[in-house]
Amino acid sequence: MSNILVTGGAGYIGSHACKALKAAGYTPVTYDNLSTGWEDAAKFGPFEQGDLTDRDRLDQIFAAYQPTAILHFAALSQVGESMRDPGMYWHNNVSGSLTLFQAAVAAGCLNVVFSSTCATYGDQDNVVLDENSAQHPINAYGASKRAIEDMLRDFQNAYGLNHVIFRYFNVAGADPDAEVGEFHQPETHLIPLILDAIDGKRDALTIFGTDYDTQDGTCIRDYVHVMDLVDAHILGLKWLEDSKGCDVFNLGTGTGFSVREVMQQAQAVTGKDVPFIEGPRRPGDCTKLVSGSDRAEADLGWTPKRSTLEHMIGDAWRWHQTGHYVK
Ligand code: UFG
């Protein structure tokens, strides 16, 4: 059984990945500073608290567990926050990744699956994106992830650091068993905020902008079920085991939904109205981010199976009602 180092394994996507890794016969070793993650979520293998920028601690972890690969999820990931405090994003995401990759190379751990984002593409008026689309991020979060992609390419050329880059579209939903789920503090993501508004945990959802150039004036996103997303990571690991090298894959469904469409579906799934108000645009938001997943399908054999809005909101609602990491 090989050990896989999972940075950010106590976070939303990382914890689902740890569950999937365990089910696939790997041992996930979570490395997380708990700045946004939850120790309760790191329950599928060993947990080590530590920061990405702490080289000594990383060296200890590589020596102790001898991981064969890294799933690198740990990052700050809020678009709005990144606009207010870009320094934090360059420090944590970019310096942190640099320290991690340097430690990995020194330890001879040369396989990385990296969580990048469609936010690296920026605003590209109503096109369906693919992996060759130009990357012009409009927020510091996207810029920090693009910089890490460049770093990986350089590290592959110079040190043989094999890697798979996944550019996520909007990840949503939860483990259908509700052992883990989405919970951020503060919460900024659309679906959990809608569910909070539905069950009275907040007064109302604010729609950020109703004057976008879309059919109903609200932003369009391509939502992917977190379980489908983590399936792609297992396939990415196997791809690295079989064929050393590097590649980049978009993980989206090719179908976009507006904020109002997501609200309508949440109403249909829960049978309850979504209290909402209409507010101004949120700085850093793109009008539309949608992608196909042809390359991931062709090269990794990945197809999203659960990424309908109904399925994602249904699983998120079950999690919302049964468990939370609130302390
Ligand atoms: N939205 C609202 N009201 C809210 C929250 C969100 O109207 O209270 C809207 C946003 O404006 C956006 C959509 O709902 O149009 C989705 O917003 P999220 O905050 O859920 O997701 P983002 O698209 O901003 O960001 C997410 C991830 C990022 C990733 C990005 C790529 O958080 O890590 O997707 O689009 F980079």
The pLDDT tens digits along the chain (327 residues) read: 799 999 999 999 999 999 999 999 999 999 999 999 999 999 999 999 999 999 999 999 999 999 999 999 999 999 889 999 999 999 999 999 999 999 999 999 999 999 999 999 998 776 789 999 999 999 999 999 999 999 999 999 999 999 999 999 999 999 999 999 999 888 999 999 999 999 999 999 999 999 999 999 999 999 999 999 999 999 999 999 997 799 999 999 999 999 999 999 999 999 999 999 999 999 878 899 999 899 999 999 999 999 999 999 999 999 999 867 665
Q: Which residues are catalytic?
A: 141
Structural domains in the chain, sorted by start:
3-172+224-251 (3.40.50.720), 190-221+254-322 (3.90.25.10)
Question: Is the minimum distance from the CB of 170 to ligand 1 under 6 angstroms?
Answer: yes
Question: Is the minimum distance from the CB of 259 to ligand 1 under 6 angstroms?
Answer: yes
308 Cα–ligand 1 center, Å: 17
47 Cα–ligand 1 center, Å: 29
190 Cα–ligand 1 center, Å: 6
Atom of ligand 1 nearest to the CA of 170: 34
Assign 3-class secondary structure to the chain: CCEEEEECCCCHHHHHHHHHHHHCCCEEEEEECCCCCCHHHCCCCCEEECCCCCHHHHHHHHHHHCCCEEEECCCCCCHHHHHHCHHHHHHHHHHHHHHHHHHHHHHCCCEEEEEEEHHHCCCCCCCCECCCCCCCCCCHHHHHHHHHHHHHHHHHHHHCCEEEEEEECEEECCCCCCCCCCCCCCCCCHHHHHHHHHCCCCCCEEEECCCCCCCCCCCEECEEEHHHHHHHHHHHHHHHHHCCCEEEEEECCCCCEEHHHHHHHHHHHHCCCCCEEEECCCCCCCCEECECCHHHHHHHCCCCCCCCHHHHHHHHHHHHHHCCCCC
Question: Is the minimum distance from the CB of 285 to ligand 1 under 6 angstroms?
Answer: yes
Look up the pTM and report it: 0.96
Predicted complex ipTM: 0.95
Question: Is the minimum distance from the CB of 119 to ligand 1 under 6 angstroms?
Answer: yes
Question: Is the minimum distance from the CB of 193 to ligand 1 under 6 angstroms?
Answer: yes
